[in-house]
A and B are shown apart, each in its own frame.
Chain A
């Protein structure tokens, strides 16, 4: 029996998805998301009927969703337009800060601003993003972070152009599909560019740098630093039909590698972690699809690339053992040296099992984690075996296993009853773990926690709205009088408009908001692990997945 495990298609994510969209876009767009969630495609009329909203607002909401790649549309054979959600992309809204920070660490401030603008608009042309980013650099104090020595300040748009080119070459930005032919109605976002499409990469002949420089000058004169750069009209540039958006997979692949290497380093050692990282890099050079589970590379290739690594053979041997997940196997040992196979899926399952055990330890204690690991390792475990293997009293073992059973982590294995029941036969109780169900349950708990946190933040924001508005007004007045050269007494008088109790309340609310968003950030990291698991185990035939991982 094959079980389909799709993380973002679950009912647990439905409420969370509309709450995430409401946090970023407001309630009208969230209503449209809610109407689209459970269907595979809805027309405009049915969305208007389901949401009970004016048609103008539904149109604007759909445009916002499509622009940010949260929804897509397709034409049916009856030439009607059907809209559907891209559910995973809704969750990625919460990770925008991580994408921006990742690019800042790797490529610098200019690339960070480019990605920030791309995320803000959803899809944008190259000229538009260069103009807006250059304006922001000129209007804010970030230009000093970008300027290099002996660089002409008027060439900042060239620096931004180079950053954009780097992002495209590394795969962080991808081109939006363009319509192949104008005659029949075709969805421009579903058509993939052909392999001989000369616009696949950033074409220099489509970028008019003079026009861009002129637009930058005009934009700086008209816009202010508080409102930000005004988005220029795309049709006024030669590349007005070539749109770019963020490629989430490129980021996720690098984060996956970091997660795998960190896990190996933590379980075995730093040296082994370095060897594993090198092994992955060597394997990627021979493999086309870096996401595939079984990644192969020859032993000769590995020894040639990692010649400088100390104790290479010993590290490779440790990588094949259980502590590191047993993900690296040597195949075909012989005259040719053989091959090394990296089972990424197995390592992901191992990390997931460790995560679940850690979560159970936090919620129910170390004894519960011990019982969980024991039942995971063995297929079916009796109550007596739990007590003896986990070094617990019989009563304590029964209580712990009962608690795990009540929380649906352990399942009771039904035994076939004897044909002749007698009073002398003892009643035995056996426990087992359905790893997939435990992962699904934990993921749905994470989504529920996320919803609760966002809802709490929303309620506290509403409660403290008037207070925050008052604080904003007082700060604005103080800034104005400081600029006009006021004395300290005058500044103090203005600041006293906000009482001490109000100031304490504002500080408390800001601290609460930071705590809530820190936990939200942590939960998104946890859900990334489940995302990886669902990518490799979306169709599970063998329900004993994870048994060897523990």
Chain B
């Protein structure tokens, strides 16, 4: 069965080329003759032996040495230039969830600065930041509108109130201003009171309410035992 089909043609072709059947499946570096008879069991070499050795390198001249030096310097210079994109340094401590979003650029590596008008806008990092800022601002506007609506007013009521306020401004602008000033004064007073309260609290608490709840500085104890004797103790 082995001698039929494609194998037959290949075997015949190799035979016609002068390759003997015994040589067809043997590796080239297997020991032959006496070494094979002795039972030499050394492993075969990793690479087949070269029949023709490569030619030696041409002798170096000043021109070739100069080109070689230029190539080496160029490779080193490009690797340390701003165009070689370096991997961001990873922290050696415990991996944290926020590491994914924290960007650390390799130290001493120059920043990439080019003329961005010659590149597509999507490659410009500042362009990407602006579009993110716009996205962030939209929810705040929506939340402000919601606050106005939650006060119990519909859009129509709000518009009517605004029209009334405009009329009032035209007719009695001073009264409205006084009202606004009163409101502002009230706000200021409230703020001052809050500040005073905060100041008093700061004097007493120093940030905590420990003094109110826990600390007893012993003043009451000394007052109760005070007989007016100011001479002090004798030791």
- Residues of A that sit less than 8 Å from B by CB: 23-29, 44, 54, 56-57, 59-64, 66-68, 73, 81, 94, 96-98, 100-101, 119-120, 122-123, 176, 188-189, 234-235, 240-241, 243, 362-365, 383, 394-395, 398-399, 401-402, 412, 427, 429, 513-515, 517-522
Contact = CB atoms under 8 A, between A and B. Distances in A.
Given A68-B83, A518-B68, A398 B18 contact: yes
B72 interface: yes
B85 A395 contact: no
Contacts of A60: 85, 112
B55 A96 contact: no
Given A28-B85, A28-B87, A518-B57, A402 B70 contact: no
B142 interface: no
Interface stretch (B73-81, B131-139, B159-167, B198-206): B73-81
A437 B122 CA distance: 43
Given A73-B119, A188-B118, A383-B16, 4 more contacts: A26-B84, A26-B86, A44-B122, A401-B17
- Ranked nearest first, the 3 interchain pairs of A and B with the lowest CB-CB distance are A398-B18, A97-B70, A64-B83
Contacts of B13: 412, 429
Interface of B: 12-14, 16-19, 51-52, 54-55, 57-58, 60, 63-64, 66-68, 70-72, 74-75, 77-79, 81, 83-88, 103, 112, 114-115, 117-120, 122-123, 125
Nearest to B115: A234
B17 A63 contact: no
Contact of B85 (A64, A100, A176, A189): A64
B78 A402 contact: no
Contacts of A61: 85
A188 B122 CA distance: 15
Contact of A29 (B12, B57, B84, B114): B84
- Counting chain B CB atoms within 10 Å of each CB, the highest count among A26, A364, A412 belongs to A26
A146 B72 CA distance: 24
A483 B57 CA distance: 40
A362 B51 CA distance: 10
A100 B73 CA distance: 13
Given A412-B13, A521-B71, A63 B119 contact: yes
Contacts of A513: 72
Contact of B84 (A25, A67, A362, A402): A25
B52 A363 contact: yes
A52 to B, nearest CB: 13
A183 B55 CA distance: 61
Contacts of B122: 44, 59, 81
A120 B71 contact: no
Given A59-B125, A395-B18, A398-B16, A101 B68 contact: no
Contacts of B12: 427
B123 A63 contact: yes
A234 B57 CA distance: 45
A56 B78 contact: no
B28 to A, nearest CB: 12
Contacts of B83: 25, 29, 64, 67-68, 122
